[in-house]
Amino acid sequence: MGGKWNFKTPIVQGNAPAQAHANIPAGLWEREMGRDAFFGPATDFYHRNPPTAWCAIDADGPRPHLMDTRLLATPGSSQGNAAELLVNAHVRMRYWKTQGNMDHLVRNADGDELLFLHRGSCELFCDFGHITLTKGDYFVMPRGTMWRIETSEVVEMLLIESTDAPYRLPEESILGRHLPFDPGVFGVPALNEQFKAQKRNQLTQVRIRNRGRVNSVTYPFNPLDAEGWKGDLYPIRLNIADIRPISCHRAHVVPSGHTTFVSDRFIICTFAPYPSPTDPTALRLPAFHDNIEYDEVLFLHEGGKTDLSAGFEPGLVMFDPRGVTHGPQAETLPLFHNSEIPLPNENTLVMLDTRDPLELGADAHRCNIPGFEMSPAKAIAFAPDAVIPDAPAPQAAAPAGPTETTAATAKADMAAQTLSRIDTMPKTITTQIISNELADALIAGAKAKAAEMGVPMCIAVTDPAGNLVQFVRMDGAALLSVGLAQDKAYTSVSFGMATHEWHEFIKNDPPLLDGIVHTPRLVVFGGGYPVKVDGVLVGGIGVSGGHYTHDMQVAQAALAAAGVAA
Q: What is the 3-state secondary structure (H, E, C) of 72-96?
A: CCCCCCCHHHCEEEEECCCEEEEEE
Residue type, 521: R
Residue 4 lies in a domain: no
The pLDDT of residue 50 is above 90: yes
Residue 395 lies in a domain: no
Q: What is the pLDDT of residues 226-262, one digit of tens each?
A: 999 999 999 999 999 999 888 878 877 777 778 899 9
The stretch 505-511 carries a mean pLDDT of 75
Contact 107, 145 (CB under 8 A): yes
Question: Of 201, 194, 196, whose CA–CA distance to 228 is shortest?
Answer: 196
Helix, strand and coil percent figures for the chain, each rounded to 5 = 20, 30, 50
Q: Which of 430, 447, 482 is the last residue of a domain?
A: 430
The stretch 60-86 carries a mean pLDDT of 86
Contact 137, 116 (CB under 8 A): yes
Kindly state the percentage of the chain with pLDDT values over 70.
Answer: 87
Asked if residue 472 and residue 354 are part of one domain, the reply reads no
Give the range among 46-50, 172-176, 268-272 with minimum mean pLDDT.
172-176
Give backbone dihedrals phi and psi of 8, rounded to 5 degrees, phi first. -115, 115
The stretch 358-387 carries a mean pLDDT of 90
Model confidence band, residue 11 (pLDDT cutoffs 50, 70, 90): confident
Asked if residue 246 and residue 148 are part of one domain, the reply reads yes
Asked if residue 315 and residue 220 are part of one domain, the reply reads yes
* Residue 557, H or E segment: helix 548-562
Residue 5 lies in a domain: no
Q: What is the pLDDT of residue 10?
A: 84
Q: What is the pLDDT of residue 284?
A: 81
Asked if residue 509 and residue 361 are part of one domain, the reply reads no
Asked if residue 55 and residue 36 are part of one domain, the reply reads yes
Q: What is the pLDDT of residues 284-317, one digit of tens each?
A: 888 898 878 899 999 999 886 665 556 678 899 9
Asked if residue 456 and residue 530 are part of one domain, the reply reads yes
Reduce the DSSP state of residue 168 to 3 states and report it: strand
Residue type, 202: Q
Q: What is the pLDDT of residue 523?
A: 92
Q: What is the pLDDT of residues 459-492, one digit of tens each?
A: 999 998 888 999 999 999 998 899 999 999 999 9
478: Cβ contacts below 8 Å, ≥ 6 apart: 456, 458, 544, 545
In the chain, the number of structural domains is 2
Whole-angstrom Cα distance, residue 107 to residue 386? 55
Residue 461 lies in a domain: yes
The stretch 170-185 carries a mean pLDDT of 80
Whole-angstrom Cα distance, residue 311 to residue 314? 10
Model confidence band, residue 517 (pLDDT cutoffs 50, 70, 90): low
Asked if residue 470 and residue 380 are part of one domain, the reply reads no
Residue type, 56: A
Q: What is the pLDDT of residue 508?
A: 77
Asked if residue 473 and residue 416 are part of one domain, the reply reads no
The pLDDT of residue 333 is above 90: no
Whole-angstrom Cα distance, residue 57 to residue 63? 7
At 442, which CATH number?
3.30.450.150
Contact 153, 121 (CB under 8 A): yes
Residue 3 lies in a domain: no
The stretch 84-94 carries a mean pLDDT of 96
Question: Of 367, 354, 368, whose CA–CA distance to 163 is shortest?
Answer: 354
Question: Of 565, 168, 170, whose CA–CA distance to 401 is shortest?
Answer: 565
Residue 353 lies in a domain: yes
Residue-wise burial string across 457-488, b where 16 or more C-beta atoms lie within 10 A, e elsewhere: bbbbbbbbebbbbbbbbbeebeeebbbbbbbb
Kindly state the percentage of the chain with pLDDT values over 90.
Answer: 55
Q: Please tell me whether the overall predicted TM-score, pTM, comes out greater than 0.75 for this model.
A: no
The stretch 368-373 carries a mean pLDDT of 88
Asked if residue 482 and residue 350 are part of one domain, the reply reads no
Q: What is the pLDDT of residue 418?
A: 45
Pairing of strands 348-354, 266-271: antiparallel
**Between residues 264 and 566, the one the model is more confident about:** 264
Asked if residue 179 and residue 309 are part of one domain, the reply reads yes
Whole-angstrom Cα distance, residue 361 to residue 129? 32
The pLDDT of residue 278 is above 90: no
Model confidence band, residue 339 (pLDDT cutoffs 50, 70, 90): confident
Whole-angstrom Cα distance, residue 153 to residue 125? 17
Q: What is the pLDDT of residue 429?
A: 59
Q: What is the pLDDT of residues 416-465, one digit of tens each?
A: 544 444 333 344 556 788 998 999 999 999 999 999 999 999 999 999 88
Distances (CA, A) of 427 to 119, 424, 430, 496, 538: 44, 8, 10, 23, 21
Residue 351 lies in a domain: yes
Asked if residue 329 and residue 447 are part of one domain, the reply reads no
Range of the domain at 322: 12-390+400-430
Tallying the residues shown for the chain, one arrives at 566
Model confidence band, residue 85 (pLDDT cutoffs 50, 70, 90): very high
Residue 39 lies in a domain: yes
Give the range among 79-88, 170-179, 373-382 with minimum mean pLDDT.
170-179
The stretch 250-278 carries a mean pLDDT of 85
Report the interhelical angle of 548-562 vs 436-453 (nearest 10°).
130
Whole-angstrom Cα distance, residue 491 to residue 540? 8
Asked if residue 463 and residue 415 are part of one domain, the reply reads no
Contact 74, 97 (CB under 8 A): yes
Contact 390, 68 (CB under 8 A): no
Give the range among 8-22, 249-263, 541-555 with minimum mean pLDDT.
249-263
The three-point CA angle 147-125-160 to 5° equals: 45
Q: What is the pLDDT of residue 394?
A: 45
Q: What is the pLDDT of residues 388-406, one digit of tens each?
A: 655 444 444 444 443 333 3
The three-point CA angle 316-322-328 to 5° equals: 50
Q: What is the pLDDT of residue 4?
A: 65
